[in-house]
């Protein structure tokens, strides 16, 4: 009886703490007792949880893309109620699956889809090890899913981290999400920024671009999106690179492949808001968290003008009629 009582008390304490911290976004706490920020430890599942259990009211819009696009706040998309389902390493082969997740859980098709296209996603050799999008829906719909998560010690570990993020100094080595799904990065020095840029250049040179082969199936993937959602408006943009990463593309003789990537997107989506080239934005390192991720403020600067707020930072490329 003592063992059972102690075990019950321990499990009860774990469940209560997990409910309060809610690192998996299973329960909607507006203020959450001061636990405002959480870490995106499993963005695909966390964002599916939010979409399933507490989506934005009258949600009619979804944002897709890789970690670069996770910095785009839904508030920037004026005239729509958006949720950002972008996640780490999300490639173009995943877009259709996540649009189907949105449709399955909300029971309708989105009015607007905003997609951040990444040049590294055009590499046929880029490997992804994530589960199919539909499997996350199966998880949230499994019996007693939220209850089981309350008693999970893996979730408990994340709850402890959530407590640390909110009770101490916010970490400068990782961005955090607020309870509305907006991503934030915290203060770091220019020295740290430059080190991140330098370190990532080596990774891109050896991995994402070192084995580059153009993904010929991109237009087919894009067309599948349009055909599956014929009445949906698509707003597509190319995610920017910092100046050093753009220079590396030139050195590796990948500029023609970059142009083909843009042409394929324009041929299907008709209009592309293009930011991945040398301009004032790419040369200003304060717009970047590292070599490829913009800050949340810079993401607002990029996307805001598309929806009527601010001056456009890039180029709008449109398909010629009959082409």
- The CA-atom distances, in angstroms, between 219 and each of 43, 66, 157 are 27, 18, 42
Phi/psi-derived region of residue 308, left when phi > 0, alpha when psi is between -120 and 50, beta in every other case: left
209 touches 252 (CB < 8 A): yes
Residue extents of the structural domains in the chain: 15-318
Query: Which of 239, 319, 234, 311 lies closest to 274, judged by CA?
Result: 239
- With a cut of 80, say whether residue 6 has pLDDT above it: no
Instruction: Quote the CA–CA distance of 8 and 255 in Å, as a whole number.
Output: 62
Q: How confident is the model at residue 168 (pLDDT cuts 50, 70, 90)?
A: confident
Does the structure show a pLDDT above 90 at 179? no
Spatial distance between the Cα atoms of 246 and 200, rounded to a whole number of angstroms: 12
Edge-to-edge order in the sheet of strand 61-64: 82-84, 61-64, 112-117, 233-238, 271-274, 315-318
* pLDDT, position 210: 84
Share of the chain above pLDDT 70, in %: 96
114 phi and psi, to 5 degrees? -110, 125
Given the structure tokens 């916010």, which residue do they identify? 170
pLDDT at 225: 96
pLDDT digits (tens, 9 = 90+) for 31-57: 556 678 999 999 999 999 999 999 999
* pTM attached to this predicted model: 0.93
User: Are the CB atoms for 162 and 23 separated by under 8 Å?
Assistant: yes
- Per residue in 149-165, pLDDT (tens digit) is 999 999 999 999 998 88
């Amino acid at each position: 009886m003592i063992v059972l009582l102690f075990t019950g008390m321990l499990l009860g304490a774990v469940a209560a703490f997990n409910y309060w911290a809610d690192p998996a976004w299973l329960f909607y706490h507006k203020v959450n007792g001061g636990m405002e920020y959480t870490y995106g430890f499993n963005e695909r599942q966390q964002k599916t949880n939010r979409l399933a259990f507490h989506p934005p009211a009258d949600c009619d819009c979804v944002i897709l893309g890789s970690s670069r696009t996770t910095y785009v706040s839904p508030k920037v998309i004026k005239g729509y109620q958006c949720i950002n389902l972008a996640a780490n390493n999300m490639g173009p082969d995943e877009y259709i699956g996540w649009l189907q997740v949105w449709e399955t859980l909300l029971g309708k098709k989105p009015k607007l889809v905003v997609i951040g296209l990444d040049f590294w996603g055009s590499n046929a050799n880029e490997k992804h090890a994530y589960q199919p999008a539909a499997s996350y829906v199966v998880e949230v719909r499994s019996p007693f899913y939220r209850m089981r998560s309350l008693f999970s010690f893996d979730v408990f570990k994340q709850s402890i981290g959530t407590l640390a993020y909110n009770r101490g100094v916010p970490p400068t080595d990782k961005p955090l999400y607020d309870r509305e799904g907006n991503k934030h990065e915290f203060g770091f020095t220019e020295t740290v920024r430059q080190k991140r840029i330098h370190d990532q250049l080596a990774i891109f040179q050896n991995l994402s671009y070192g084995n580059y082969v153009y993904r010929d199936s991109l237009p087919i993937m894009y067309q599948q999106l349009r055909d599956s959602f014929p009445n949906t408006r698509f707003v597509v943009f190319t995610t920017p690179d910092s100046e050093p990463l753009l220079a590396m593309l030139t050195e590796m003789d990948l500029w023609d492949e970059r142009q083909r990537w843009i042409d394929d997107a324009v041929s299907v989506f008709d209009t592309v808001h293009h930011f991945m080239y040398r301009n004032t934005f790419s040369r200003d390192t304060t717009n970047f968290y590292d070599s490829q991720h913009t800050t949340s403020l810079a993401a607002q600067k990029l996307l805001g003008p598309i929806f009527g707020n601010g001056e456009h930072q890039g180029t709008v490329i449109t398909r010629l009629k009959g082409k």
